[in-house]
Amino acid sequence: MNGYNSVVCIKQVPDTKRITGDAMKADGTINRAALPAVFNPDDRCALEAALSVKERFGGTVTVITMGLPAAKAILREALFCGADRAVLVTDRKAAGSDTLATSYILSQAVKKFSPDLVFCGRQAIDGDTAQTGPQIAEKLGMPAITYLEKLDLDGQTATAVRDIGTGIETDRVKLPALFTVTEKFGELRPFNMRRVMELKASEPETLDCAAIGCEDSRCGFAGSPTNVNRIESVVLAGGEFKEVAPTEEAIGNLVKELVDEHTIG
Amino acid sequence: MNTRSGEVWVFAEQEDGKVADIAFELLGKGRELADRLAVKLAAVLLGGNEEMCAKLIEGGADIVRLIEDDRLKVYRGIAYRAAFVSLIRECSPQIVIFGATHMGRDLAPAIASEVRCGLTADCTDLQIGDYTDKKTGEEFKNVLMQIRPAFGGNIIATIVNPRNWPQMATVREGVMKPLERKATDEGRRTKDGIVRHSSNLDGVEIPVEVVEIIRRHSSVNLKGARIIVAGGAGVGSKENFKLLHELAAALGGAVGGSRAAVDLGYCEHERQIGQTGVTVRPALMISCGISGAVQHLAGMKDSAKIIAINTDKDAPIFQAAHYGIVGDLNQVLPKLIAAVKAKG
């Protein structure tokens, strides 16, 4: 067998760790323009998983993202790290997709490449839902192995080590299968400078919903059962607190108060 | 499929012959939702037994929908999904809630995908309310309001799924309160309360075999701690974190940390409190050198009493605190430790 064909689903996300005052508009919605867009951290680990499989066993790595044309930036990064092929699915019909519609569209794109292995990040930092990976697997009729930490392959069988929260589980899985990858898998390798030189002017392939055979009724708003009813930005109520001086006496009194009301002791 | 008489369901996860704590937390919330809708509350137990059913009924379930099948004893996503989807198709529940545990976050999306319904992840609250679709003007009475932080905890979103039922959500661990357990009258209610179903797994290919499970026996139990001493980046070093351990030991409490403290290696990941860590609500939270990012506050703001210690008097943590000590924790903590020991 000549290695494994992997598809990696990746996402460009606003860097929610670097939220500043400008990031929230007065109406409580997000000002995406004010946030730097980054390659979702867990998806970087998913790409590393696919590249390490290619390195050990041969085969190909295709990265797919759904988003606006600006998302080509992370596709290029993936190519620089060693991906063979990069595909952007972009379509106005995809706007407003929740996880169900997103997983449908991505599964239609993944299908085109008949992969042995599909990798997704565990979750994206903008939504933290961890839903898209398992949902793509269901739509492709593959088992989903979530929270992947280690992977070994032997013919058409994968041995996967996954975090189950209360411990670590080892599974034997028949391929094809989908894996969602955590940061435990390891950091994405750096750019290969030769590839950067060769590919810096390359344009990722672009597909729309029709090209991957999507039914319109299952894409975007039409295909999304969840609606956002309300969004509030988190404003902390300016609570009153009792200031305690950093002195032995004041701290002693505080402890006495807590003992008296049975909070401690 | 949108039947008003549909039950409220709680997924009761079981592991190693025991129902997980999260099932009882979900039953607490599920009871409230079911009472509000005047429908039955059912726990769904796959691969379990009668003893577990009794516990679930004591925990607030009206009935337990039980599938006994050896293929469901150990969790495998594909088998659980097939059995659960067949149960949903048979009974048409209106609401199904899962724990946002590794198991719940593996299972719920796959079910939602197959049933093609909506799913909201990691909710911190669930309520029943009315919803008007702003585009169509359509009104929906008594739908499930699924409330969750999003965008790194910077916003709180209320999500509804008014059309494609069941309405499904995963709920974070530690945020819902279990009910006081009521002993059933001589197990009579238990017997009446168990409804057995077939797994319908014959002919379903399950291409996953669980080879080995190694349980992590964590010495850290933040969720169960009455008192927590938590540190952030302001603690300054792993060495200084020892002061927190010393205070926690004196108080009989546990030590937690903010994400920053974990990232800096001051404490272990399992101690992380906040949106991506554990949600806690102890009787007393002593917060040391934590600035109070919303992601952290989301995981601790419901603590009964919060004492914040920080050198920066403008740190947002003080807004959430009941007591504030503006000062260097290296000086404040030894005084606090001494005072606690003196009261001992």
- Please write the tens of the pLDDT for every residue from B202-225: 999 999 999 999 997 776 778 778
Q: How many separate domains does chain B show?
A: 2
Rounded CA-CA distance B245/B230 in Å is 9
Same domain for B231 and B192: no
Residue B99, domain CATH: 3.40.50.620
pLDDT band at A236 (very low <50, low <70, confident <90, very high): very low
Question: In terms of pLDDT, which residue wins out, A34 or B179?
Answer: B179
B30 and B146 in a single domain? The answer is yes
In a domain, B294, yes or no: yes
Quick one: tokens of B212? 């080995």
- Chain A nearest-CA distance from B181, in A, is 24
Q: Which of A110, A109, A186, A179 is nearest to A148 (CA)?
A: A179
| Cα separations in angstroms, B121 against A2, A146, B172, B297 | 39, 15, 8, 19
pLDDT score, position A15:
83
Looking at the structure, do residues B190 and B239 belong to the same domain, yes or no? Answer: no
Residue B195 sits at the chain A interface (C-beta within 8 Å) = no
Q: Which residues of A touch B336 (CB under 8 A)?
A: 251, 255
Distance from CA of B184 to the nearest CA of A (A): 30
Q: How confident is the model at residue B138 (pLDDT cuts 50, 70, 90)?
A: very high
A221-230, B118-127, B128-137, B270-279: segment of lowest average pLDDT = B270-279
A58 vs chain B: nearest CA distance in angstroms? 24
On whether residue B219 sits in a domain, the answer given is no
Class of residue B180 by CB neighbours under 10 A (exposed 0-12, middle 13-18, buried 19+): exposed
> Same domain, yes or no, for B31 and B153?
yes
A126 interaction partners in chain B (CB closer than 8 Å) = 150-152
Q: Is residue B60 part of a domain?
A: yes
Contacts with A235 from chain B: Cβ below 8 Å: none
Q: What is the ipTM of this complex?
A: 0.89
**pLDDT of the residue at B276:** 76
Query: Tell me, what DSSP letter sits at residue A180?
Result: E
B231 and B188 in a single domain? The answer is no
Question: Does residue B318 surpass a pLDDT of 80?
Answer: yes
Look at residue B119 and tell me if it is in a domain. yes
Please identify which residue in the block is written with the tokens 């937390």.
Answer: B25
pLDDT band, residue B301 (cuts 50/70/90)? confident
- Mean pLDDT in residue range A75-88: 98
| Chain A residue closest in CA terms to B270 | A165
- Report whether pLDDT(B234) > 80: yes
Phi, psi of A100 (to 5 degrees): -65, -45
B322 closest CB neighbour out of A146, A241, A255: A241
B296 dihedral zone (left: phi>0; alpha: psi -120 to 50; beta) = alpha
Q: Tell me the pLDDT of chain A averaged across its residues.
A: 91
Q: Domain ends where: B179, B196, B213?
A: B196
Cis peptide before A176 (omega within 30 of 0): yes
The answer to whether the predicted template modeling score (pTM) of the entire model surpasses 0.90 is no
Question: Same domain for B22 and B142?
Answer: yes
Q: Are residues B268 and B176 in the same domain?
A: no
CA of B169 to nearest chain A CA: how many angstroms apart?
A: 11
**Residue A237 pLDDT:** 46
pLDDT surpasses 60 at A192:
yes
Judge if B53 and B164 occupy the same domain: yes
How does pLDDT run across B157-199, given as a tens digit for each residue?
Answer: 899 999 999 999 999 887 788 898 766 555 566 778 999 999 9
Regarding whether B133 and B45 lie in a shared domain, the answer is yes
Q: What is the pLDDT of residue B88?
A: 98
**pLDDT (mean) for B80-106:** 97
pLDDT class of A26 with cuts at 50, 70, 90: low
Residue B81 belongs to what domain range? 8-196
Shared-domain flag, residues B127 and B178: yes
Domains of chain A: 4-223 (3.40.50.620)
Inter-chain touch B332–A251, beta carbons under 8 Å:
yes
pLDDT of residue B156: 81
Residue B21: inside a domain: yes
Whether B222 maps to a domain, the answer reads: no
Whether residue B307 sits in one domain with residue B180: no
How far is the CA of A86 from the CAs of A18, A66, A72, A149, B80, in angstroms?
A: 28, 11, 9, 25, 34
We report the CATH number of the domain holding residue B328 as 3.40.50.1220
Higher pLDDT, A15 or B265: B265
- What average pLDDT score do residues A144-155 get? 97
- Chain A residues in contact with B233 by the CB 8 A cut-off are none
Q: B13 and B130 in one domain?
A: yes
